[in-house]
Structure 1
Amino acid sequence: MMHLKNISVGNPKTMAQFQLTKRSGVIWLFSEDGQNWYEEQKNFATDTLKIAYDKNGVIVNISKDVSTINPSGLSVVELPNITANRRADIYGGWVF
């Protein structure tokens, strides 16, 4: 299961990324350990829940489709799509 922590905006790290930024204004997002958000999305399973939470652990987004999450300033974790995990919501009362 994937877990990308403290995702934030960062500078392009390759010439191709730099060119995309220059040409199309792409904003690059990286986890605290340097993983590229856009490249890592393919490593999330299609049958799991993806939960985004803030620095206090409060859940702010839940989705089955990782590409729908804008994780800037958040962490994203992948959890099994089971009843207990589906009970979580994004109204501020659930903490990861």
Structure 2
Amino acid sequence: MKNFGPFSTYNPEKDTPEAALAENSNILFIKDNDGNEWYDVQRRFNEKTLKVVFDKSGVIYSASYDASSLWPVNAYVAEVSVDDIPDLFPLPIQGLDWQFNGAKIVPRTYTVEQLKTQAQRDKDILLNQAAKEIAPLKDAVDLNIATPDEQERLKAWMLYRVLLSRLDPGTAPDIDWPQSPQ
């Protein structure tokens, strides 16, 4: 399977058809460190293979069977046989949860710092969701118009929010997340 990159933008040599296209049609050109021009590279790929675009860490951020739909500026491109695509690999790409390890697609390995950052982001999202659930229930209680069901739901959401607020994202990935009220 073929592997190219990293690709970066360049200005075509003067007095070439590419230079005219770049100047007159605002077309960008990219090539890799070995001088392989992206528009030429696309023709070298097998139409039946998956092409993945990944960064220097191997994190895949784009993939397609059609190389012309990819734009790997500041990235690498590898060709992957259909037989080597993991069953759970999503197309189109959703998130940054997969890596190319030089030979195949594998689930992404996160550093502890990345896991801590993800945990803080997840905690913030869940706290915001809890606040949105609590606000109208709290209003109903404050106005003395809450039903018994609303009072119970308010209590459950408030407990959930307190438990979330006590979580330390610095302990990621070993976090025991509280269960969201239904």
Q: Fold conserved (TM > 0.5)? A: yes
2:53 aligned partner: 52
SS in 2 for 1:61: strand
SS in 1 for 2:99: coil
Matched, 1:4 2:4: yes
Matched, 1:92 2:96: yes
2:148 aligned partner: none
1:46-85 matches, cutoff 5 A: 46-82=47-83, 84-85=84-85
2:27 aligned partner: 26
| Structure ID, larger Rg | 2
More strand by share: 1
* Superposition TM-score, scaled by structure 1 size: 0.88
SS in 2 for 1:38: helix
Instruction: Tell me the alpha carbon deviations over residues 63-88 of structure 1, each in whole angstroms, 9 at most, x when there is no partner.
Output: 11111111111100001012x41433
Tell me the distance in 2 between the aligned counterparts of 1:17 and 1:35: 14
2:147 aligned partner: none
Tell me the distance in 1 between the aligned counterparts of 2:7 and 2:45: 16
Identity of aligned residues (%): 31
Question: Are residues 13 and 4 of structure 1, via their aligned partners in 2, closer, same or farther at CA, if it must alter by over 3 Å?
Answer: farther
Q: For residue 2 of structure 1, report the CA deviation from its aligned partner.
A: 1.9
2:37 aligned partner: 36
More helix by share: 2
Bigger relative contact order, structure 1 or 2 (CA pairs below 8 A, ≥6 apart) = 1
* Superposition TM-score, scaled by structure 2 size: 0.49
**Stretches of structure 2 lacking an aligned partner (at least 5 in a row):** 101-182
Task: Tell me the matched-pair count.
Answer: 95
Question: Are residues 81 and 13 of structure 1, via their aligned partners in 2, closer, same or farther at CA, if it must alter by over 3 Å?
Answer: farther
Q: For residue 45 of structure 1, report the CA deviation from its aligned partner.
A: 0.5
**Stretches of structure 1 lacking an aligned partner (at least 5 in a row):** none
